[in-house]
Amino acid sequence: MIDRLSALGDRLRVTYEIVVVNDGSSDATEEILNRLATANSAVLPVSLSRNFGKESAIMAGLVAATGRCVAIVDADLQHPPEVIEEMFGRWRQGFDVVNAVKVHRGKESLAYRIAAKGFNWVMTRLIGTDMSKASDFKLLDRQVVDILVQMPERNRFFRGLVGWIGFRVTEVEFQVGERAFGESSWNLVKLIRYSINNVISFSAFPLVLIGYTGLIAALLGLLLLGQTFYNYIKGGPISQASCPLC
């Protein structure tokens, strides 16, 4: 990945940096990154004290990046770095956010594919932005990055926040590449947990649900009060048999 990004930066003839976030890896990632940084001055390792998760890792990279524009890309080569050249061209045309959208999702299990579609369907309706082909593969203008890092949210949904803040947006299609090594740590359980966290932290749906639940409880309470008052007027006792809600 670093070799391909370096070749891309040289081809574009721009000053660039490669910020690599180590999200608390338990293997030799930190040592390898330090060696790469010694060999290549453009490489800037950022090692977190523990595994904080994808959203925090992305934000740590944005905080460390200093460029006039910043591309966010996975390190497993499923996000082909060469696509950044077209994204960079769109940024030079005046766009502030360049979204790389998937032509297809690549190799995934049936259960994961169904869960991902369900997640995208829910988030699309909550956010009002089509999430069906969305990814974290984006190029952002400096002003967009500055706004994102200043937001006070602790639990963030990066894709949703980028779509929510506005600015001039365009899209570039890409084919999901083959994973170079290893296997994804994402599974159905993690996706469900990720979905719940995003719904809770990014939308007003939980508050709306609580509001409707409270309204229904209040209406049932009024109905029971009316039934109790009716029995009181008639002089009859309130029994379980006479209570329509029991």
pLDDT of the residue at 133: 61
Question: For the whole prediction, is pTM greater than 0.85?
Answer: no
- For the chain, the straight-line distance linking the first and the last C-alpha, in angstroms and rounded, comes to 65
What residue has token string 């990720």?
194
- pLDDT tens-digit series, residues 2-32: 999 999 999 999 999 999 999 888 888 899 9
Within 13 A of 16's CA, how many CA atoms are on the CB side? 21
- pLDDT tens-digit series, residues 59-91: 999 999 999 999 999 888 888 999 999 999 999
DSSP state letter for 178:
P
- pLDDT tens-digit series, residues 177-212: 777 776 666 556 666 666 667 666 666 666 777 888
Query: Percentage of the chain with pLDDT > 90?
Result: 34
- Quick check: helix, strand or coil at residue 47? strand
DSSP state letter for 93:
T
pLDDT of the residue at 141: 94
